[in-house]
Amino acid sequence: MRNRVHVMSLLLCLLGAPALALGQAAVPGKIGIINNIQEAIFATEEGKKALADLQKKFQPRQDDLQRQQQEIQALNEQLQKQAATLSDEERMRLNRDLEDKQKVFKRATEDFNAEVQGDREDALRRIGRKMMVVLNEYARQNGFILVVDAAQINVYYASPEIDLTPEIIRRFNAANPADTGATTGTPTPTPAATKPAAPPPKPAAAATKPADKPKP
């Protein structure tokens, strides 16, 4: 919130300062917006390829996490369905097995999400530096005195004419052609870190409390 206040204050100062300057006419200039700089980065051809590479790299581990989750669910269901027939010893063994699997799954999920997020941020920084070069050059050439990220500040109205996103993406692609031959026709994947694997299911109540023995 504080950062947004600072950005808005800067915007107001830039808009108002020329008119308030004594003995000076208002400095002509334009203001533009980028709808969401991160989305714009991943909408470029290089950004799409980066996401596809991430998907390819982490897909085997994501599949393994899904397999672990299915094993945990199956074991949990077994404890529920067989609660009345399992011996105390077998019930304790299955509970230990379930707890061990849950711990391994939780640790693997945390490591997975951290690595995906780290690689995604690396791609953002790498491609973002190139995008800033394109954006700054375009702004200088076309008389823009300010370009803001609409995702970072509250923009209540903006004319479509000042949305620079499509033009910046087009210019970026022209200046930075990406080798997309391997990913042509492939939908842009969503980084797995944005959708973490579901938490492991809790042990069934029957699994932690021995069932009553049948009365003679």
Residues contacting 152, CB < 8 A, separation 6+: 3, 4, 7, 37
Q: What is the DSSP string of 95-120?
A: HHHHHHHHHHHHHHHHHHHHHHHHHH
pLDDT, tens digit (0-9, with 9 covering 90-100), for 29-61: 899 999 999 999 999 999 999 999 999 999 999
Phi, psi angles (nearest 5°) of residue 37: -65, -35
Higher pLDDT, 15 or 163: 163
Distance CA 15, CA 13 (A): 5
10 Å Cβ neighbour count for 78?
Answer: 15
Confidence of residue 187 (pLDDT cuts 50, 70, 90): very low
pLDDT of residue 84: 85
Task: Kindly report which listed range (74-78, 88-92, 139-143, 195-199) carries the lowest average pLDDT score.
Answer: 195-199
Average pLDDT, the chain: 79
Q: Which residues pair with 179 in a beta bridge?
A: none
| Element (DSSP H or E) covering residue 34 | strand 30-34
Domains and CATH numbers, the chain: 2-208 (3.30.910.20)
Q: Which residue has the tokens 């903006």?
A: 158
The band of 27, judged by pLDDT with boundaries at 50, 70 and 90, is low
Expressed in angstroms, the distance from the first to the final Cα of the chain is 69
Q: Torsions phi, psi of 98, nearest 5? A: -65, -45
pLDDT per residue over 71-127, tens digit each?
A: 999 999 999 898 888 888 998 999 999 999 999 999 999 999 999 999 999 999 999
The pTM (predicted TM-score) of the whole model is 0.67
Residue 74 corresponds to which tokens in the numbers above?
Answer: 């199956």
